[in-house]
């Protein structure tokens, strides 16, 4: 008799996001899985072993830091630096994928447990559809030179991209976040009015449409 039990699948939508978002996502997964008794031995370790163990795969923290360094270096352009960034991104995906399948194997029928890993589950009905557009529900300036942006969470999103602009200037990406409810923008200029917009990342198209902008002056 065929079982009616729904089997969970881990979403690999992080592959549809910008490289900087992948860095943020790795950091989130490391935070969620570290010390999580449900996932005692991920195939790719979360942090370097002490003392170093040359028989183990390169850990996720090292892969994350290498990707961040490659992204920073590639900002100056150049074929070699871009190639290095792409290689670091592929290496990061290799580790993320290995641990994703590990989580999926352990949580095939336990969605709440799967979500404690930091990974997202594929929605069998809507996982391949375009993402909904997030809405900005508030922008607070409780701390000098900072804005706290609050978004509506979007189902199946693996993260969020936030952009700002001032006056008639161009929109500039200033933050990637793995969660929506409070995204803190730092290093802003006092006395300046910032326009803010955001979009969700993941889904079948890689990203949602941009939200309607909000604005706030920074004290």
Task: Compute the distance between CA of residue 97 and CA of residue 105 in angstroms, rounded to an integer.
Answer: 12
The per-residue pLDDT for range 101-115, each reduced to its tens digit, is 999 999 999 999 999
Residue 84 CB contacts under 8 Å (≥ 6 apart), including other chains: 70, 73, 74
Tell me the per-residue pLDDT of 191-219, one tens digit each, with 9 for 90 and over: 999 999 999 998 777 889 999 999 999 99
What's the Cα-to-Cα distance from 48 to each of 45, 52, 62, 136, 175, rounded to whole Å? 7, 7, 7, 39, 27
Please tell me the predicted confidence (pLDDT) of residue 3: 52
What's the mean per-residue pLDDT of the chain?
91
pTM to 2 decimals?
0.81
Nearest to 106 by CA among 48, 36, 158, 45: 36
């Amino acid at each position: 008799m065929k079982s009616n039990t729904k089997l969970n699948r881990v979403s690999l939508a992080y592959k549809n996001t910008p490289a900087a978002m992948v860095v943020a996502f790795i950091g989130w997964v490391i935070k969620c899985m570290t010390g999580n008794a449900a996932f005692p031995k991920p195939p790719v370790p979360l942090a370097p072993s002490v003392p170093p163990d040359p028989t183990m795969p390169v850990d996720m923290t090292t892969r994350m830091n290498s990707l961040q360094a490659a992204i920073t270096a590639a900002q100056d352009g150049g074929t070699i630096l871009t190639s290095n960034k792409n290689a670091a991104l592929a290496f990061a995906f290799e580790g993320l994928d290995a641990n994703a399948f590990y989580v999926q194997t352990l949580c095939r029928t336990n969605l709440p447990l799967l979500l404690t890993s930091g990974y997202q589950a594929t929605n069998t009905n809507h996982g391949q559809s375009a993402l909904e557009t997030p809405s900005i529900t508030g922008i607070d300036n409780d701390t000098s030179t900072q804005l706290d942006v609050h978004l509506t969470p979007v189902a199946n999103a693996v993260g969020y991209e936030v952009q700002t602009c001032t006056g008639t200037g161009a929109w500039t990406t200033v933050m990637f976040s793995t969660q929506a409810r409070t995204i803190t923008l730092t290093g802003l200029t006092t006395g300046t009015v910032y326009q803010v917009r955001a979009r969700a990342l993941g889904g079948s198209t890689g990203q949602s449409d941009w939200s309607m902008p909000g604005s706030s002056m920074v004290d």
